[in-house]
Chain A
Amino acid sequence: MSEKIYFNFQGPWSDAATELLCSDTGSWRTERPVLDEEKCILCGFCAMYCPIQCIEMKGQFFHSDLNFCKGCGVCARECPKKAISMVPEGEFK
C-alpha cells in the first residue's frame, strides 16, 4: 500500500485506481433520442439534466453516447425547443 492513499481517487475499500465497473446500459434502451439540429439553440439543458451524463458536445452539437444512454427521455422532455424526439429502437434495425 502506498504511504498516503487518502484522496488520491483511491479508497481503502475499492480498487478504483486500476479499473471501474461499467454495465452495458445502452442495451436497456427502447427509445433513442434523436436531435433536430435545426431547432437546437445549444442551451445545454439536455447535457445538464441527463442522469447518465452521457450527452456531450460532439462537433457543434450535443449528442448522446448511445453505448450508455438508457433511453429515459429526460433530455427530450426538458428541451425548451423540443428539438429532441424519442424514436423507437426498432426503426434503426
Chain B
Amino acid sequence: MADKKKKKRLSKVFDYLKYEDPFAKGVSFCAGCPLERLVRFVPQVMGNDIVITGTPSCSAPVLLGQNGKSWHKLSYYGTLMTGAASNATGLARYYKRAGIDGTVVCFNGDGTAADIGFGNLSGAAERNEPFVYICYDNEGYMNTGIQKSSTTPFGAKTTTTPVGSNERGKNLRRKNLGLLLAMHKIPYAATATLSNLEDFAKKLLKAKEISKKGFCFLHIFSPCPTGWGMPTDTGIEVCRKAVQTNYFPLWEAENGKFSFTKEVKKPKPIKEYVKLVKKFSHLTEEEIEVLQKDVDYEYAVLKQLSLLDQECPLPD
C-alpha cells in the first residue's frame, strides 16, 4: 500500500557506510558468498583512499582484475602468498616516508595468513609495521579446490581430509590465529564477522586510526557456501550461529588488553552450528564432543585473558 505511512527505522549500520561502493555491481564471486559483502564493506567504511595488497585467493580474481581491466576503483597490488605482509610493509613505509596519508590494507585469506605467509605476518607484527592486516577465514584453500588449511576445524570434510573408511575428516584441531597475533603484543587485534556489521565497522574504524602508528590485525569469519556445503542464503545465518555458539567469539585486544565486544550470555551447544554446515554432516556424537571441547577451551582462554586488567603498550 503506497498510501500507508511507515516510520523509517533504518539500521545503525547505515551510519557507518559513509563512502560509495567502489566495486562494479556484477562481480564474479559465487552467489551468496559473504566474502563479497566483506570486500564491499571494507572500502564503504574505511574510505576509497585505501590501498589493498593481496595474494592469489578467492578475492584475487575480483581485486586484481582481468584482461587488463579492473572490477573496482581502488588501488590494488597483487603479490605472492609467501611475501604478503612484507609487500605491505614496503608500501606502508613508502607512504610514511613520502608523507602521503594513506591506509594500507593487506587483504588475505587464511591460507596466506595462517600457513604460507605466516612467517612474514609474524615478522611484520613483531616490527610493528603501520598497516592493517585483514584475514578472511573461510577455513581452507577454497579457491584451489577446498583443501584443508591450519584453520580448518576438527572433523571438517575437505578434499584433502575426505570422509571414508580410513579417514573421517580432519583429525587435527584448528589454529587460533587471532589469539596468536594478539600474543605478538600488537597495538590492535580483533575478530569480527558479517552477522555483526556494526561491531565490524567500529573495529575497522579503530584499526584505521591505530594503523597510523602500528600493526593492526583483523580476523574475519567468512563462511564459504561452495566449500562448506551450505545453501547460498545461509551465509549470514552461519556467521550468527558461530558467534552464538562461541565457535567464533567476538573480541578485541588493544595493547594487550583483551575484552569481548559481544559476550554471549548463554552459549548454544556447538551442535546447532554443526547441523547448518554439510562439511560436518558425518560427525558422530563423540566427534562433536571433541569439537565442543576445543571451542570451550579456546573460549576459556579468552575469558581468562579478558579478566586480566593489564596493558603493555609500546612507549612512543
Contacts and interface: CB of A to CB of B under 8 A. Distances in A.
A16 B73 contact: yes
The interface centre, meaning the residue of B77, B100, B236 with most chain A CB atoms within 10 A of its CB, is: B236
Interface in B188-246: 194, 197, 231-237
Contacts of B78: 13
B48 A49 contact: no
B11 to A, nearest CB: 5
B69 A52 contact: no
B37 A50 contact: yes
Ranked nearest first, the 8 interchain pairs of A and B with the lowest CB-CB distance are A72-B32, A73-B233, A11-B75, A14-B70, A70-B31, A25-B26, A51-B36, A72-B232
Contact of A52 (B2, B25, B72, B236): B25
A72 B261 CA distance: 30
Given A13-B77, A38-B1, A42-B9, A51 B235 contact: yes
Interface in B8-51: 8-11, 13-14, 21-29, 31-34, 36-37, 40, 48-49, 51
Interface in A33-88: 37-38, 40-45, 48-54, 60, 65, 67-68, 70-74, 76-78, 86
Nearest to A59: B2
Contacts of A11: 51, 70, 74-77
Contacts of B9: 41-43
A19 interface: yes
5 contacts: A11-B70, A40-B6, A51-B235, A68-B25, A68-B26
A43 B11 contact: yes
Contacts of B10: 42-44
B49 A7 contact: yes
B166 interface: no
Contact of B100 (A6, A54, A73): A6
A66 to B, nearest CB: 11
A7 B100 contact: yes
A76 B235 CA distance: 12
A83 B67 CA distance: 41
B232 to A, nearest CB: 4
